[in-house]
C-alpha cells in the first residue's frame, strides 16, 4: 500500500507541475499575442505556414491579411515572404504569400522571396540574409500563438525585430496551441540544455 501511495503522490506532483508549466507557456504566449506594431518598418518577414496545393491555409491567410493591411498603410516597407515547398504543396509557401499579397494590391517590386526554409529557425536565418543592409526596423509576421517563439528565435539570431501578430483562426486554436507548447519546450531544450 505504501508503494501505491508513493506512486499516487508522484503522479499528482507531476500533474501539478505539468499544469503549472502549461500555464507558464500560455502566459508567455499571451504576452506577445497583442503587440502594437510600430509604423514605417523597413521590412516585414512573413513566416510561412501550410499551403494546400496553391492556396494558403487559414493560419497563413491570417498572416497575409495582417501583413497586407500594414503594407497598405506603410508604403515604404518591403516584405520578405518566407517558406519553402513541403509535402502536399504545389508551390512554395513564399510563392503563395507573394501571390496573395499581389492579389491584395501590394506591388510585386516590394516582395522578396525566401523559398528554401522548412521551419521557423530557417525562416529567420535565410530571411536575415535578404534584409537590405540599410534596414533598421523590422517586423516578424505570424499568428499570435507563434509570436513568442518566433521573436525569441529572431532575437537569438541577432535580429532586433518586433512583432505583427495575426489572429489564429478559431477552428485551429486547440491544435495550434497544443503544438506550440511542444515547440516551445523543444526550443527551451535546444537553447538551455543541448
The owner of cell 499551403 is 51
Tell me the per-residue pLDDT of 128-138, one tens digit each, with 9 for 90 and over.
999 999 999 99
The owner of cell 501590394 is 106
Helix (H) or strand (E) holding 43: strand 43-47
DSSP character at residue 87: T
pLDDT at 40 over 80: yes
pTM reported for the whole predicted model: 0.92
Q: Is there a contact between 81 and 116 (Cβ–Cβ < 8 Å)?
A: no
Residue 166: predicted pLDDT? 96
Residue 39: predicted pLDDT? 95
Average pLDDT of the residues in 59-72: 97
Tell me the per-residue pLDDT of 99-138, one tens digit each, with 9 for 90 and over.
999 999 999 999 999 999 999 999 999 999 999 999 999 9
DSSP class per residue in 92-161: -HHHHHHHHHHHTT--GGGEEEE----SHHHHHHHHHTTS-TT---EEEEEEGGGHHHHHHHHHHTT--E
pLDDT at 25 over 80: yes
CATH of 31-192 among 3.50.50.60, 3.40.50.620, 3.40.50.2000, 1.10.10.10:
3.40.50.620
Tell me the per-residue pLDDT of 141-182, one tens digit each, with 9 for 90 and over.
999 999 999 999 999 999 989 999 999 999 889 999 999 999
Rounded Cα gap, residues 51 and 56, in angstroms: 4
Residue 122: predicted pLDDT? 96
Question: What CA–CA distances, in Å, run from 157 to 121, 125, 136, 161, 180?
Answer: 9, 7, 15, 11, 20
pLDDT at 31 over 80: yes
Average pLDDT of the residues in 177-192: 93
Amino acid at each position: 500500500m505504501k508503494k501505491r501511495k508513493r506512486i499516487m503522490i508522484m503522479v499528482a506532483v507531476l500533474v501539478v507541475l505539468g499544469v503549472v508549466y502549461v500555464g507558464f507557456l500560455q502566459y508567455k504566449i499571451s504576452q506577445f499575442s497583442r503587440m502594437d506594431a510600430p509604423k514605417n518598418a523597413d521590412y516585414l518577414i512573413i513566416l510561412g505556414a501550410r499551403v494546400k496545393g496553391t492556396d494558403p491555409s487559414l493560419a497563413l491567410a491570417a498572416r497575409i491579411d495582417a501583413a497586407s493591411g500594414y503594407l497598405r498603410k506603410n508604403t515604404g516597407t518591403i516584405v520578405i515572404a518566407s517558406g519553402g515547398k513541403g509535402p502536399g504543396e504545389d508551390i512554395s509557401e513564399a510563392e503563395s504569400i507573394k501571390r496573395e499579397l499581389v492579389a491584395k494590391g501590394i506591388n510585386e517590386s516590394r516582395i522578396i522571396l525566401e523559398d528554401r526554409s522548412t521551419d521557423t529557425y530557417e525562416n529567420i536565418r535565410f530571411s536575415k540574409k535578404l534584409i537590405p543592409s540599410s534596414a533598421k526596423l523590422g517586423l516578424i509576421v505570424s499568428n499570435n500563438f507563434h509570436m513568442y517563439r518566433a521573436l525569441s528565435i529572431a532575437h537569438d539570431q541577432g535580429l532586433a525585430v518586433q512583432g505583427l501578430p495575426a489572429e489564429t483562426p478559431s477552428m485551429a486554436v486547440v491544435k495550434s496551441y497544443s503544438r506550440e507548447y511542444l515547440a516551445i519546450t523543444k526550443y527551451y531544450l535546444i537553447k538551455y540544455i543541448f
